[in-house]
Amino acid sequence: MSTHIEAKKGEIADKILLPGDPLRAKFIAENYLEDAKLFNNVRGMLGYTGTYKGHRVSVMGTGMGIPSISIYAHELITEYDVKKLIRVGTAGALAKDVHVREMVLAQAAATMSSFVRNDWPEYDFPQIADFDLLDKAYHIANDLDITTHVGSVLSTDIFYSDFYEKNVKLGTMGVKAVEMEAAALYYLGAKFGVQTLGIMTISDSLVNDEPDTTAEERQTTFTNMMTVGLETLIAE
């Protein structure tokens, strides 16, 4: 057991999908994994281990925001020896060429968070994805004919932000979308020498007049990123 995860050693696979919503973790376990077993229910943050195409894989919710994902990812890496961590979540489009329900692979993550600066106050440490996972995910998405964008994202601490104009300006500089977790996951990957990647489905747009998706849709219908995430985890 760790501070926030009740699993015993060996109950979590070395490859894991990390949706923010624990109910999305439950959906993935029930619809994609065989022989899925619940390993965590502390604070309702559901986690399961099963098999996907014969490979042992886990899935666990992380909650919303950098502080929450950093707690779970840190414990998964340091207490349970997880080596591949892929976030699958939602994001809001910042670039006009990115549309609702399309997928974004986060090559890098800009952030206004002080999370990294707590360790490195003198530097602007780059938060970047593991290239091997990124490359595999890109080719898997292409093979599945899924509309996919590769570029930077903004990991913000503020959901209801007063920085709308500044955030939208980032969309003109190659930042594809805004979300709340990737920067922390990428930093922990670098810190502990493990592989990390963020795969996001666009749930709404800050720059295009497109209808938002519902909470239920975000929980159960964004299946492309789930498939790409799982296929990437098991790719040789």
Q: What is the pLDDT of residues 24-81, one digit of tens each?
A: 999 999 999 999 999 999 999 999 999 999 999 999 999 999 999 999 999 999 999 9
Cα–Cα distance for residue pair 155/150, rounded to 1 Å = 15
- pLDDT class for 221, splitting at 50, 70, 90? low
Q: Residue 7 domain-assigned?
A: no
Q: Residue 4 domain-assigned?
A: no
96: tokens are: 């006009």
Q: What is the pLDDT of residues 83-96, one digit of tens each?
A: 999 999 999 999 99
What is the tally of structural domains in the chain?
A: 1
- pLDDT class for 210, splitting at 50, 70, 90? confident
Cα–Cα distance for residue pair 115/16, rounded to 1 Å = 23
Query: pTM higher than 0.85 for the full model?
Result: yes
Q: Is residue 79 a known part of a binding site?
A: no
Distances (CA, A) of 19 to 11, 29, 106, 132, 179: 19, 11, 15, 20, 12
Q: Is residue 43 a known part of a binding site?
A: yes
Distances (CA, A) of 112 to 64, 153, 228: 16, 12, 28
Q: Residue 81 domain-assigned?
A: yes
Q: Residue 164 domain-assigned?
A: yes
143 in active site: no
Q: Residue 64 domain-assigned?
A: yes
Q: Residue 5 domain-assigned?
A: no
Active-site annotation holder among 14, 21, 204, 212 = 204
Q: What is the CATH number of the domain that holds 224?
A: 3.40.50.1580
Q: Residue 10 domain-assigned?
A: no
Q: Residue 8 domain-assigned?
A: no
**Phi and psi at residue 103, to the nearest 5°:** -110, 145
Q: Is residue 88 a known part of a binding site?
A: yes
Domain span at residue 148?
15-234
